[in-house]
């Protein structure tokens, strides 16, 4: 564990040693050998180094001790040759061997040395490979978080150099972690992605290992048929590749499949084969599994003597492995303690950096806020000044315009006064006119002239209103006699009765014609009498319907205006049994508080020419204008004619 304590002091010393070694080796080779011989020697040494490391990799499963010796020898050769990549590869092989043996501290020491060499030499590919091996060690230690972190770093480095050949290794390693955590769905997903990469880059050895792992997942999830298919394919491939560890594991796995299916004979055969491959490869873990399961298989077959023998062998190897396991656990605990200390130191240092960083951020933030505040204040002041300038400029323009308008108005007033004085002097007596010509018209002159105009205007309005009122009696008489003539032509008896009723109605007209306005209630009483007159002539061919609330009877309208509307409707529309004339009298209340009396009849105009004075509607409209300044609303549609009379309050 000394490496971890001196980890930060080693890089410079190691770098200097490597440079010195390279310098002396180059000088020695330059002095002792010709150029061609030196090149030939380097080529031979490189080939020997590659062969030695390849043999070390092949012996990891068969003879770990021999593989370790070969890897150490290859590192010594790489140092003599100055081959950084070979040094990294040798340390990675040794790290893998120590990892398999449970010597995790030694494995990490070698792998971190490799990582340091790769970083000094900027060997990007070596960095990714070493991180993957470090992840394997943490995976074996059960520190899955740190393992995933190193796998991720390796994958990102490979991606940065677009080297996708080892991407499958990342997927396989991550799948292994999910497998151990029993997250089988995620494990299968990553295993499948790893197989896809291995197929693409033609790596059947790696592909077979992943396929075997997929079979184990299927076995644990009770997908037994799928598991057997994976195992059988892996068995053939491991045999072709002479992978003793793989053969031991896959035979044990198939034996377990048949054990779960109660095919005990087949199960025992596969477990014995797995035991043979495990012994040949000195693979104690697989050997222990085979002994344990053979004991259970023979017990299930009631062959208790053989079951007992395998149980004793299982116990013996378990005791042996227990010592190794205990040592491994102690090592793991020791490493975990040191890792925790290092992690705490790193956390303290990181917290110190974070505090300093936050302090700098606060300073920057405060300066930024002050700058923003000053900028905002500056913009506000500029905005206020600009707005003040605009208001002042606008006010000056407005004042200039007002002065111009005032000057024009003053000139117009002077001109108008001169014209007024001239008119007044012409209209007033000669004595007053001479005063106006001399001194101009005074206020008394204007008031005198204004009173004359008001008197003339009032007389004119009264004359117009009297003229309108004078139209009522002739209009009513004309229409009534016209209707009487029609009645005489149709039925003389009814015509006589009609004449009597008409005389009574005429009496009402003459009595009220001097009134300007009349209450709606009185007008409706008169309309009821008028309806009797219409009924005697037309019977049910003319229908007058009233739908009026009682609270509007005290409102006013011009006298006889309602009767004129009904009379015009009868005058200008066809009235018959087939086409009865229907007149609806109602009211409308508007939001402004106005109330309108509505007279609505169906529109069926006569085809023959009708004698008309053209007085009725015009008379009503003009009287409304004189009395209230109000307008009568006339609506003529395709099927109906409607007149709306505003009801007045007096």
What six digits make up the tokens of 584? 């609806």
Residue 278 pairs in a beta bridge with: none
Least confident of 94-108, 210-224, 303-317: 94-108
The values of phi and psi at residue 283, to 5°, are: -100, 85
Question: How many whole angstroms separate alpha carbon 195 and alpha carbon 356?
Answer: 47
Q: Looking at residue 452, what is its pLDDT?
A: 53
Per residue in 319-330, pLDDT (tens digit) is: 776 655 554 554
Confidence check: pLDDT of 604 > 90: yes
Question: How many whole angstroms separate alpha carbon 50 and alpha carbon 377?
Answer: 73
Confidence check: pLDDT of 99 > 60: yes
Q: Looking at residue 9, what is its pLDDT?
A: 42
Residues 6 or more apart whose Cβ sits within 8 Å of residue 438: none
Look at the block and give the residue holding tokens 């299930």.
300
Confidence check: pLDDT of 627 > 80: no
What six digits make up the tokens of 595? 């109330």
Question: How many whole angstroms separate alpha carbon 191 and alpha carbon 221?
Answer: 15
* Residue 91: how many other CB atoms lie within 10 Å: 29
Q: Looking at residue 11, what is its pLDDT?
A: 46
% the chain with pLDDT above 70:
75
Q: Looking at residue 375, what is its pLDDT?
A: 92
Beta strand ranges found along 603-639 (DSSP E): 633-636
**End-to-end CA separation in angstroms for the chain:** 115
**Given pLDDT bands bounded at 50, 70 and 90, which one contains residue 463?**
very low
Question: How many whole angstroms separate alpha carbon 72 and alpha carbon 59?
Answer: 13
How high does pLDDT run on average in the chain?
Answer: 78
Find the mean pLDDT for residues 452-481.
52
* Confidence (pTM): 0.39
Residue 642 pairs in a beta bridge with: 600, 635
Q: Looking at residue 323, what is its pLDDT?
A: 54
Find the mean pLDDT for residues 116-144.
84
**Given pLDDT bands bounded at 50, 70 and 90, which one contains residue 24?**
very low
Q: Looking at residue 340, what is its pLDDT?
A: 62
- Which of 228-232, 344-348, 605-609 has maximum average pLDDT? 228-232
Cα 494 vs. chain centroid, distance in angstroms?
Answer: 85
Find the mean pLDDT for residues 130-153.
86
Confidence check: pLDDT of 581 > 90: yes
Domains of the chain: residue spans and CATH:
2-221+321-352 (1.25.40.10), 453-646 (3.30.565.10)
DSSP state string for 277-340: HHHHTT-HHHHHHHHHHHHHHHHHTT-HHHHHHHHHHHHHHHHHHHHHHHHHHHHHHHHHHHHH
Look at the block and give the residue holding tokens 């004979």.
265
Per residue in 479-520, pLDDT (tens digit) is: 666 666 766 767 677 777 777 777 777 777 777 767 778 899
Question: How many whole angstroms separate alpha carbon 324 and alpha carbon 285?
Answer: 11
Helix, strand, or coil here: 391? helix
Helix, strand, or coil here: 429? coil
């Amino acid at each position: 564990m000394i490496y971890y304590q001196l980890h930060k002091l080693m890089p410079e010393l190691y770098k200097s040693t490597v440079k010195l070694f390279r310098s002396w080796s180059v000088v020695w080779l330059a002095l002792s050998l010709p150029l061609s011989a030196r090149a030939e020697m380097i080529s031979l040494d490189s080939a020997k180094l590659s062969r030695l490391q390849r043999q070390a990799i092949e012996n990891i499963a068969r003879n770990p001790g021999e593989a370790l010796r070969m890897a150490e020898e290859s590192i010594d050769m790489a140092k003599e040759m100055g081959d950084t990549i070979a040094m990294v590869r040798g340390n990675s092989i040794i790290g893998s061997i120590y990892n398999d043996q449970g010597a995790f501290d030694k494995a990490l020491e070698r792998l971190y040395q490799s990582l340091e060499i790769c970083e000094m030499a900027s060997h990007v590919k070596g960095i990714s490979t070493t991180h993957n091996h470090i992840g394997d060690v943490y995976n074996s230690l059960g520190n899955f978080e740190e393992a995933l972190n190193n796998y991720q770093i390796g994958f990102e480095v490979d991606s940065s150099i677009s080297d996708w050949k080892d991407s499958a290794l990342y997927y396989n390693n991550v799948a292994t972690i999910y497998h151990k955590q029993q997250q089988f769905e995620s494990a299968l997903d990553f295993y499948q992605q790893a197989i896809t990469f291995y197929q693409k880059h033609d790596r059947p050895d790696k592909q077979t290992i992943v396929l075997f792992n997929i079979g184990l997942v299927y076995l644990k999830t009770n997908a037994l048929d799928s598991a057997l298919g994976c195992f059988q394919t892996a068995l053939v491939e491991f045999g072709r590749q002479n992978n003793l560890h793989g053969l031991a594991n896959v035979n044990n796995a198939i034996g377990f499949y048949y054990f779960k299916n109660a095919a005990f004979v087949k199960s025992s055969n596969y477990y014995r084969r797995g035991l043979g491959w495990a012994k040949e490869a000195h693979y104690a873990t697989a050997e222990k599994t085979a002994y344990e399961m053979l004991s259970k298989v023979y017990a299930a077959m009631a062959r208790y003597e053989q079951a007992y023998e395998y149980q004793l062998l299982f116990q013996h190897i378990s005791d042996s492995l227990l010592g190794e396991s205990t040592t491994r656990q102690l090592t793991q605990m020791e490493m975990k303690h040191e890792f925790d200390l290092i992690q705490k130191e790193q956390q303290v240092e990181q917290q110190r950096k974070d505090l300093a960083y936050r302090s700098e951020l606060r300073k920057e933030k405060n300066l930024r806020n002050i700058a923003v505040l000053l900028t905002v204040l500056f913009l506000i002041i500029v905005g206020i000044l600009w707005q003040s300038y605009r208001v002042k400029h606008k006010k000056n323009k407005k004042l200039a315009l007002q002065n111009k308008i005032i000057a024009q108005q003053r000139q117009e007033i002077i001109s108008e006064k001169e014209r007024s004085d001239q008119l007044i002097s012409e209209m007033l007596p000669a004595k007053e006119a001479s005063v106006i010509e001399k001194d101009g018209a005074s206020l008394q002159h204007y008031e005198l002239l204004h009173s004359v105009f008001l008197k003339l205007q009032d007389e004119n309005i009264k004359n117009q209103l009297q003229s309108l009122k004078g139209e009522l009696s002739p209009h009513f008489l004309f229409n009534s006699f016209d209707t009487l003539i029609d009645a005489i032509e149709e039925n003389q008896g009814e015509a006589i009765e009609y004449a009597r009723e008409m005389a009574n109605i005429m009496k009402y007209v003459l009595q009220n014609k001097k009134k300007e306005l009349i209450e709606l209630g009185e007008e409706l009483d008169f309309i009821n009498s008028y309806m009797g007159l219409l009924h005697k002539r037309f019977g049910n061919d003319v229908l007058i319907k009233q739908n009026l609330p009682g609270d509007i009877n005290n409102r006013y309208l011009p006298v006889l205006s309602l009767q004129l509307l009904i009379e015009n409707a009868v005058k200008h529309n066809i009235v018959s049994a087939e086409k009865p004339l229907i007149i609806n009298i109602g009211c409308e209340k508007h939001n402004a508080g106005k109330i309108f009396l509505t007279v609505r009849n169906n529109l069926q105009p006569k085809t023959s020419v009708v004698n008309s004075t053209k007085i009725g509607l015009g008379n009503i409209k003009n009287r409304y204008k004189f009395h209230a300044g109000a307008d009568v609303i006339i609506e003529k549609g395709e099927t109906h004619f409607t007149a709306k009379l505003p009801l007045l309050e007096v």
